[in-house]
Amino acid sequence: MKRARIVIVGRPNVGKSTLFNRLTGTRRALVHDEPGVTRDRLELKTEWWAQGRKFPVLLTDTGGVGGERFGEEIDNQVGIALEDADAVIVVFDGRAGLTALDEDLMKRLNRAGVLKRLPVVAAVNKIDAEQHEAMIADFYSMGLENVLTISAEHGRGIDDLEETIAQLIPDFLEEEADSDEVESEDGEPEPEPEEGLPRIAIVGRPNVGKSTLTNALLNERRMITSPIAGTTVDAVDSLASIGGKPFVIIDTAGIRRKSKTEQGIEVLSVVQARKTLERADVALLILDGEKGLTDQDEKIGGLIEDAGCGVVLVLNKWDTQRGTDFTQEQAAERIRGQMAYLKYAPIVFTSAKFGKGLNNIGELLTEILHQRKLKIPTHEFTEWVRKESTVHNPMNAKFYMCHQAGRHPPTFVCHVNDPERVDFSLKRHLLNALRERWGFMGSPVRLLFVKGASDRKPKH
């Protein structure tokens, strides 16, 4: 098996160890606080998942020496990177900004020919929340094509980092596994590797049919039986086949658990939604097709939007409308009216109790996940923004480099002469046009505007 040799470099304290642990799934305490303590170069074999395929990696953390020996250390790191790496991750501290030591490292990497010879990804770390995105403007000045923001500590942007590297060196991706083969020959369900499968959160207020739907999905043809142990006893995830494709349903036990009092349930369903959404790729927001929508549905919808995962609106108990004049179009229109902010979310109609409409969910999940994988090249996106901003731009904002900074959710950073000049209506126009051009069905899209300089031209 071919393994991609990927080397992490960066000045001390930017979060290399934390990232190494995150990318290898280890929790070993490798974080050194004492300056000047030499840490051996550390290597670990690990498997990532990218494009739905296994990506075997040998990850090297080049360690850290603080203080005066920094120059020596960088040369050492560069040496390691040069030896036999297939790709390099340069880690920066997004909170501290670009420092002289970072620039020194880049110069040495450049001098040693690393930037020309190897794919290099800049990982701007410690961007723990979306509002910190604007702090990364500096890092575009280095002329690197791949600048991603991450939070090694919180796991933000890690999937994107792995996907980006896999795209740069796709030869290391393993042959596609046949995902339909969930059963072995004797008909017994085989334990599937849960790592890397899309994670689905099933959320909604009490009594909308979450556990009925979950059971229906778990019982659909060849599904699994053995629960996958989650991180805590409370959270048990399960493998399910939805429309013939494998998915992990997050916190299956929590969905089935019933609380004693009504009020208890109400609170629980929001707490539970918040927790599962953190780990989800796509959420199914279950709505009650018999009783209609309430404030609480909107609240949970808002949590999904904030979490940035994909979303499908599932109007369940649709069987109760049989024989009435109420049509699916009318129902959809009503939902759009009450949840305007989720207008990008597709709506499906199900009867979980009778196992109806579930295949549609599988198809939509697959399509949403597919559209989230899209990565728009920087020059293409920049040109597109410039063109669109000639259509509508009441305050005459000037756009420089515009670039996709992440995929979960799709996140775009536009450099402008003055973010204040980006009128609300211009932002709305760009968002609408962006969806028209690229889709991103079922995913929230983040569009951020930061002050940039005119010399930050897109790199072709």
Q: Which stretch binds ligand GDP (CB under 6 A): 96-104, 314-322, 334-342, 397-405?
A: 314-322
Phi, psi of 180 (to 5 degrees): -80, -15
Is residue 13 near ligand GDP by the rule CB under 6 A?
yes
Identity of the residue numbered 104: D
> Residue 131 or 390: which CB sits closer to ligand GDP?
131
> Residue 96 or 445: which CB sits closer to ligand GDP?
96
Is residue 12 near ligand GDP by the rule CB under 6 A?
yes
Q: Which stretch binds ligand GDP (CB under 6 A): 44-52, 138-146, 161-169, 348-356?
A: 348-356
Q: How near is the Cβ of 412 to ligand GDP at its closest, in Å?
A: 21
Is residue 382 near ligand GDP by the rule CB under 6 A?
no
Is residue 207 near ligand GDP by the rule CB under 6 A?
yes
Site string for ligand GDP, 119-148 (x = CB under 6 A): ------xx-x--------------------
Is residue 296 near ligand GDP by the rule CB under 6 A?
no
Is residue 353 near ligand GDP by the rule CB under 6 A?
yes
Q: How near is the Cβ of 252 to ligand GDP at its closest, in Å?
A: 11
> How many chain residues are in contact with ligand GDP, going by CB under 6 A?
32
Task: Identify each DSSP E strand in 295-363 by its residue range.
Answer: 310-316, 347-349
Q: Is 290 exposed, middle or buried (0-12, 13-18, 19+ CB in 10 A)?
A: middle
Is residue 10 near ligand GDP by the rule CB under 6 A?
yes
Task: Identify each DSSP E strand in 179-281 by its residue range.
Answer: 199-203, 228-229, 236-242, 245-249
In angstroms, the CA 405 to CA 422 distance is 19
CB-based contacts of 105, cutoff 8 Å, min separation 6: 9, 10, 11, 74, 77, 90
Among the listed residues 4, 17, 157, 361, the single contact to ligand GDP using CB under 6 A: 17
Q: For residue 149, give the nearest of 169, 167, 128 by alpha carbon.
A: 128
Is residue 224 near ligand GDP by the rule CB under 6 A?
no
In angstroms, the CA 37 to CA 28 distance is 17
Q: Which residues in the 46-65 window bind ligand GDP by CB under 6 A? A: 64
Among the listed residues 208, 239, 335, 368, the single contact to ligand GDP using CB under 6 A: 208
Q: Which residues in the 29-48 window bind ligand GDP by CB under 6 A? A: 31
- In which order are the strands placed within the sheet that holds 199-203? 228-229, 236-242, 245-249, 199-203, 282-288, 310-316, 347-349
3-state class (DSSP) for residue 264? helix
Torsion of CA 183, 184, 187, 192, to 10 degrees: -40
Phi, psi of 229 (to 5 degrees): -65, 130
Q: Is 399 exposed, middle or buried (0-12, 13-18, 19+ CB in 10 A)?
A: buried
Task: Copy the structure tokens of residue 176.
Answer: 């596609």
Phi, psi of 311 (to 5 degrees): -150, 140
Q: How near is the Cβ of 286 to ligand GDP at its closest, in Å?
A: 6
Is residue 209 near ligand GDP by the rule CB under 6 A?
yes
Among the listed residues 15, 246, 346, 444, the single contact to ligand GDP using CB under 6 A: 15
Q: Which residues in the 85-124 window bind ligand GDP by CB under 6 A? A: none
Among the listed residues 210, 245, 279, 372, the single contact to ligand GDP using CB under 6 A: 210
The rounded Cα 251 to chain-centroid distance in angstroms is 19
Site string for ligand GDP, 154-183 (x = CB under 6 A): x-----------------------------
> Residue 52 or 206: which CB sits closer to ligand GDP?
206
Binding residues (CB under 6 A) for ligand GDP: these are: 10, 12-18, 31, 64, 125-126, 128, 151-154, 204, 206-212, 316-317, 319-320, 351-353
